[in-house]
Chains A and B, each alone.
Chain A
Amino acid sequence: MYRWFHQLGSPPYFYRLARRLEPRLAIAALLLIAWGVYGGLVKAPPDYQQGEAFRIIYVHVPSAWLSLFVYTAMAVAGAVALVWRMKLAEVFVTAAAPLGAAFTFLALVTGSIWGKPMWGTWWVWDARLTSELILLFLYLGVIALNAAIEDRRSAARACALLALVGVINVPIVHYSVEWWNTLHQGPTITRFDRPAMAPEMLWPLLWCALGFNFLFFWLQLPRMRYELLQREARSRWVARELGSE
């Protein structure tokens, strides 16, 4: 295991592995999302209170989960990058930020679209919505910092530091509905002891969430390959890889 982890840190090894994994991840992501969306839009019955509008959760909830997951992963990779100076961990942080920002943006927009018919407004300065918006700003901060510093290693280390500091916002987003009196509903899906959703509504959501996870890794790998090619453009392995593709 340790040997494999060590090997994974080698850019040429990672580049080849990522290229092999990408099509499989893409197929898994597309199939899972298609299956989940079909279940959510066609098979699941309408909600007794929210009617058909509840079907927005099949894109809103996975996007919101991914927005938190990606930032947490960036913080972990950031810690690895700062402590062990692992090049791939640095690349992970800078490559993941735009994807995390996209998921956060989607969580906010789809939540807003759901809010209009349910709450009667597109936006309220509620703790959950505000902390999620701060998360979007943190992602944008990482993206801007990465673009502002010319030296790739310095940029990545600065981004890693910001990811690490900003991770404090992740539990705030997650627990905001419990700590404060919010308009946003409390936890529904994570209460496995008292399931608040019917299985025919819950399963498509879980498929979609899994599909979104695969989608993230599918897109993260080519983004990391891009960063690696840019950083190691003068290395011999890059010429070899480009020649073999």
Chain B
Amino acid sequence: MGGYAAYVWSSYGVSAGVLGLCVATTYIRLAWLKRQLRRRETELDDPK
């Protein structure tokens, strides 16, 4: 890609990084919320 390789690869790298971060945060947040809700359900069902 000649002298432009660094520009091309950095734009693809930034895009993959940002979109990958979007995917990861989306599913981590969802999994965390589900865990919290499940824990609360268990506590409500089985109060100490």
Q: Is the CB–CB distance between A215 and B19 below 8 Å?
A: yes
Q: Is the CB–CB distance between B30 and A226 below 8 Å?
A: yes
Interface string of A179-214 (1 = CB under 8 A from B): 000000000000000000000000000000000000
CA distance A130 to B4 in the complex (A): 25
Q: Is the CB–CB distance between B33 and A53 below 8 Å?
A: no
Q: Is the CB–CB distance between B5 and A52 below 8 Å?
A: yes
Interface members, chain A 208-240 (any B CB < 8 Å): 215, 219, 222-223, 225-226, 229-230, 233, 238-239
* Chain A facing B: main interface SS: helix
Q: Is the CB–CB distance between B34 and A113 below 8 Å?
A: no
Q: Give residues in A with beta carbon < 8 Å to B.
A: 37, 41, 51-53, 55-56, 59-60, 63, 98-99, 102, 105-106, 109-110, 113-114, 116-117, 215, 219, 222-223, 225-226, 229-230, 233, 238-239, 242, 245
The interface centre, meaning the residue of B4, B12, B14, B27 with most chain A CB atoms within 10 A of its CB, is B4
* Chain B facing A: main interface SS: helix
Q: How large is the interface on B (under 10, 10 to 19, 20 to 34, 35 or more residues)?
A: 20 to 34
- A109 with B4: in contact, given A219-B22, A222-B30 (CB under 8 Å)? no
Q: Is the CB–CB distance between A114 and B7 below 8 Å?
A: yes
Q: Is the CB–CB distance between A56 and B27 below 8 Å?
A: no
Q: Is the CB–CB distance between A229 and B12 below 8 Å?
A: no
Contacts of B41 in A (CB 8 A): 239, 242
Q: Give residues in B with beta carbon < 8 Å to A.
A: 1-5, 7-8, 10-12, 14-15, 18-19, 22-23, 26-27, 29-30, 33-34, 37-38, 40-41
CB distance from A118 to the nearest CB of B (A): 9
- A51 with B37: in contact, given A59-B11, A114-B11, A226-B29 (CB under 8 Å)? no
CA distance A98 to B23 in the complex (A): 12
Q: Is the CB–CB distance between A233 and B7 below 8 Å?
A: no
- A52 with B15: in contact, given A222-B30, A239-B41 (CB under 8 Å)? no
- A242 with B8: in contact, given A106-B18, A110-B14, A222-B30 (CB under 8 Å)? no
CA distance A116 to B18 in the complex (A): 21
CB distance from A225 to the nearest CB of B (A): 6
Given contacts A98-B22, A242-B34, 16 further A-B contacts (CB under 8 A): A41-B12, A51-B2, A52-B2, A53-B7, A55-B1, A59-B12, A60-B11, A99-B22, A106-B14, A106-B18, A106-B19, A109-B11, A110-B14, A215-B19, A229-B33, A242-B37
Contacts of A238 in B (CB 8 A): 37
CB distance from A42 to the nearest CB of B (A): 11
